[in-house]
């Protein structure tokens, strides 16, 4: 039986909301299937239906590569239907809640405007924890009970993925399952399990389906685990509450990226989005060992795409999308073993065309002018972005970002002397063991960058933008035990830095200064290292009107703190307990039953090395791509291996048609 589109109820109301185009669908390369697509396919049998959500506005969600890849992987199967949904703005939420004579208009997909509540599976991809209130809003608009325990047989199975899913405990009450790691293979495995359960006429109902997912060892079902708390508020244990459920849930790692060249049919947005380009992930994982970087830790090991696959993906993507900018993405793109050949090959291919190539921010020590010239050969010379992260040499040793001041000055001197006029430097404030002096060193570094640029170029129109983000300790990193700096101290350090920069008339106008205040970081810290008790805070914030917490104009620190005071009143813990408190080795962390492959003793040893570096010890953990193994645990634990070139392949010129 088909499910009706809500578009006829929606269409007449669209002129009353901002950017109605974002709710219309019909993008180039989008897919609309019959509700019972399996019935008319060669495969036959039941259809498995996914609603995929990036819990933010269309303009942020549509370019998200993770959702685009899963959308395509799923829809390639003739027995699977996958559609997309995004968070609706408050004006559209008001329209939907007011509804019409048939009642409220439910959360809908943009592909065919079917109600999200009618699908088998509702998959959400979280790259940041600040999307949790948007998830609750979508569940409520969809008519899906907020709490997993209240859902019936006909409600979708709600599954969380993305980086934030490596600690899903704060949203454990609201999700049915969480997937750790790469999603391409695991969404197909989940679909197979759902299909088999449907073929057998749904034995055991929802509970049995969740059990089948949990016993795979790769899918975490929170309801099958009990959490015990000690008198002081700390966690005593997290243990399975029924037979056959694994004590630890392992992350999934996709090997051989060349076999998964997605997206092959990139979505072309109808409305303006935050990234107007076609993106190719050139490798996954990073072993540089920056201690603050959760993405680098949880995506190990490094797996490179070959130069030939990258070339094929770029050509296919340009042809099928019409985008004129191609971004080569990874956590550290200039570290690809064949990046020089990739840059030259692509620049040769597209010279004289409208296609331009871009790299995201590059490591200072991986950058060279030859590479930069190749990437700017066909496009305009926009600014270069580097991320020293720490202002002083001491801080860079603490975080294992082994870039010296001389490395940076040498690199920017080369850039300015070859015609670049603008450099952007990214730092963090609030890192473990940081002092005021470490932050003020950022000003000295920026001034030296400007002075060097003026000297080597002979010009005065040299610019340097200093961008500063607040540090938030993350699970599965050596800093997971670290205290977070409170927002007052963060703001005070940034105020001092701004004053020092502005006071120097020789450089003040040449240095741009961008920063975020410390309050959103405290909320992110609460959510990133929280446990199940934090779920009550999230729900209270949402009930008080919290939406789009990643947007400064919608974020309210006071609302979060008031909700936390209410929700945590009887727990014996508070916001400071989750954020500004240092943990010790013996404490059971909320995510310890979730296995990223990293050995706890290795992480703790790296944390101790950071503390030693703060006291002057000269300790550097090098990249294990080029050194003997450091025993972080990932490869033997996960049955994986580092996959790097050179492959010996070449990027051949395109044949002229």
Q: In this structure, is residue 205 part of a structural domain?
A: yes
Paired tokens of 402: 């082994």
Say yes or no: 12 and 153 in one domain: yes
Model confidence band, residue 653 (pLDDT cutoffs 50, 70, 90): confident
Compute the distance between CA of residue 68 and CA of residue 62 in angstroms, rounded to an integer: 8
In a domain, 400, yes or no: no
CATH number for position 198: 3.40.50.280
228, 257, 290 — which closes off a domain? Answer: 228
Residue 656 in this model has a pLDDT that exceeds 60: no
DSSP secondary structure letter of residue 450: H
> Is residue 126, in this structure, part of any structural domain at all?
yes
Residue 361 lies in a domain: yes
- For the ranges 260-264, 372-376, 490-494, the lowest mean pLDDT is seen at 372-376
Q: In terms of Cα–Cα distance, which of 363, 360, 367, 344 is closest to 413?
A: 367
| Same domain, residue pair 259 and 377 | yes
The answer on 364 and 256 residing in a single domain is yes
Specify the pairing of strand 278-281 against strand 283-284: unpaired
Q: What percent of the chain has pLDDT over 70?
A: 98
Please state, in angstroms and rounded to a whole number, the distance separating the CA atoms of residues 275 and 445.
30
**Domain check: are 207 and 85 in the same one?**
yes
H helix or E strand, kind and range, residue 492: helix 487-503
Do both 272 and 165 map to the same domain?
Answer: no
Same domain (yes/no): 76, 164: yes
Q: Do residue 253 and residue 222 come from a single domain?
A: no
Decide: helix, strand or coil at residue 320: helix
Range name among 171-185, 476-490, 613-627 with the lowest pLDDT average? 613-627
Of the listed ranges 370-374, 425-429, 622-626, the one predicted with least confidence: 370-374
Residue 26 is assigned to a structural domain of this protein: yes
Question: How would residue 419 be classed by pLDDT, with cut points 50, 70 and 90?
Answer: confident
Are residues 283 and 309 part of one domain?
yes
b/e map of 95-105 (b: 16 or more CB within 10 Å)?
bbeeeeeeeeb
Burial 134-146 (b: 16+ CB within 10 A, else e): bbbbbbbbbebeb
Instruction: Work out whether the CA dihedral 404, 409, 410, 411 comes out positive or negative.
Output: positive
Same-domain pairing of 320 and 273: yes
Identify the residue whose tokens are 């060097």.
452
Identify the CATH number of the domain in which residue 327 sits.
Answer: 3.30.750.210
Q: 186: which 2 tokens?
A: 């695991």
- Is 177 inside a domain boundary? yes
- Residue 657 is predicted with a pLDDT of 37
Residues 221 and 255 in one domain: no
| φ, ψ (nearest 5 deg) of residue 426 | -110, 130
pLDDT of 489 above 50: yes
pLDDT value at 111 more than 50:
yes
Total domain count, the chain: 2
Q: What pLDDT digit, counting tens, does each position of 548-557 carry?
A: 999 999 999 9
In a domain, 495, yes or no: no
Cis peptide before 646 (omega within 30 of 0): yes
Domain with 334, as residue range(s), is: 246-381+633-656
Do 263 and 223 lie in a common domain? Answer: no
Predicted TM-score (pTM) of the model is 0.96
Domain match, 36 and 170 both: yes
Does 221 reside within a domain? Answer: yes
Are the beta carbons of 157 and 177 closer than 8 angstroms?
yes
Q: How is residue 341 written in tokens?
A: 């050949």
Of 168, 196, 228, the residue at which a domain comes to its end is 228
When mean pLDDT is compared across 458-462, 535-539, 598-602, the lowest value belongs to: 458-462
Domain termination residue (choose one: 166, 195, 228): 228
Task: Give the per-residue pLDDT at 598.
Answer: 97
């Amino acid at each position: 039986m088909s499910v009706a589109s809500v578009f006829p109820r929606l269409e007449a109301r669209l002129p009353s909301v901002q950017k109605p185009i974002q709710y219309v669908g019909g993008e180039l390369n989008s897919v609309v299937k019959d509700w019972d697509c399996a019935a008319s396919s060669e495969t036959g049998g039941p259809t498995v239906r996914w609603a995929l959500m990036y819990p933010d506005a269309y303009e942020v969600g549509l370019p998200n590569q993770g959702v685009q890849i899963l959308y395509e992987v799923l829809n390639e199967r003739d027995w699977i239907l996958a559609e997309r949904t995004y968070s609706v703005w408050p004006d559209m939420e008001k329209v939907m809640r007011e509804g019409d004579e048939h009642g409220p208009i439910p959360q809908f997909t943009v592909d065919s405007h079917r109600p999200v509540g009618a699908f088998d599976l509702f998959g959400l991809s979280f790259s940041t924890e600040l999307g949790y209130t948007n998830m609750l809003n979508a569940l409520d608009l969809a008519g899906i009970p907020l709490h997993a325990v209240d859902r019936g047989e006909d409600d979708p199975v709600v599954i969380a993925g993305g980086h934030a899913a490596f600690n899903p405990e704060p949203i454990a009450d609201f999700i049915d399952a969480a997937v750790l790691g790469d999603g391409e293979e695991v969404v197909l495995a989940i679909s197979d399990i759902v299909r088999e359960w449907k073929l057998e006429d749904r034995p055991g109902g929802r509970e049995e389906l969740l059990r089948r997912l949990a016993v795979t060892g790769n899918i975490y079902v929170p309801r099958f685990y009990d959490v015990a708390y000690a008198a002081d508020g700390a966690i005593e244990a997290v243990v399975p509450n029924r037979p056959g459920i694994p004590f630890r849930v392992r992350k999934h790692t996709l090997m051989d990226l060349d076999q998964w060249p997605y997206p092959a049919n990139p979505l072309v947005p109808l409305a303006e989005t935050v990234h107007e380009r076609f993106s190719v992930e050139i490798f996954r994982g990073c072993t540089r060992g920056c201690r603050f970087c959760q993405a680098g830790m949880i995506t190990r090991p490094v797996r490179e795409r070959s130069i030939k696959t990258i070339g094929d993906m770029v050509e296919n993507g340009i042809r099928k999308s019409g985008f004129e900018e191609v971004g080569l993405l990874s956590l550290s793109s200039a570290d690809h073993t064949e990046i020089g050949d990739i840059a030259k090959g692509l620049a040769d291919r597209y010279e004289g065309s409208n296609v331009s190539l871009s790299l995201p921010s590059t490591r200072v020590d991986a950058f060279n002018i030859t590479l930069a010239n190749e990437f700017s050969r066909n496009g305009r010379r926009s600014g270069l972005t580097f991320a020293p992260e720490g202002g002083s040499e001491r801080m860079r040793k603490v975080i294992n970002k082994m870039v010296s001041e001389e490395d940076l000055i040498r690199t920017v001197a080369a850039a300015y002397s070859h015609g670049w006029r603008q450099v952007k430097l990214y730092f963090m404030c609030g890192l473990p063991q940081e002092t005021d002096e470490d932050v003020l060193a950022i000003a000295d570094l920026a001034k030296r960058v400007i002075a060097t640029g003026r000297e080597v170029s002979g010009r005065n129109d040299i610019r340097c933008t200093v961008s500063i983000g607040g540090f938030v300790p993350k699970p599965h990193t050596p800093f997971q035990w670290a205290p977070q700096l409170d927002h007052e101290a963060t703001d005070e350090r940034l105020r001092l830095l701004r004053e020092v920069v502005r006071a120097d008339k020789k450089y003040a106008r040449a240095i741009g200064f961008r920063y975020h205040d410390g309050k959103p970081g405290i909320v992110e810290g609460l959510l990133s290292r929280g446990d199940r008790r934090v779920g009550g805070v999230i729900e209270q914030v949402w009930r008080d009107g919290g939406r789009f917490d990643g947007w400064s104009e919608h974020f309210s620190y006071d609302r979060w703190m008031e909700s936390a005071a209410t929700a945590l009143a009887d727990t014996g813990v508070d916001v400071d307990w989750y954020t500004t408190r240092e943990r010790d080795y013996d404490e059971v962390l909320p995510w310890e039953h979730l296995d990223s492959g990293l050995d706890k003793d290795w992480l703790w040893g790296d944390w101790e090395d950071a503390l030693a570096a703060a006291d002057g010890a000269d300790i550097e953990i090098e990249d294990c791509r080029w050194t003997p193994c450091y025993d972080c645990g990932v490869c033997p634990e996960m049955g994986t291996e580092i996959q790097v070139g050179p492959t010996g392949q070449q990027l051949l010129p395109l044949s002229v048609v």
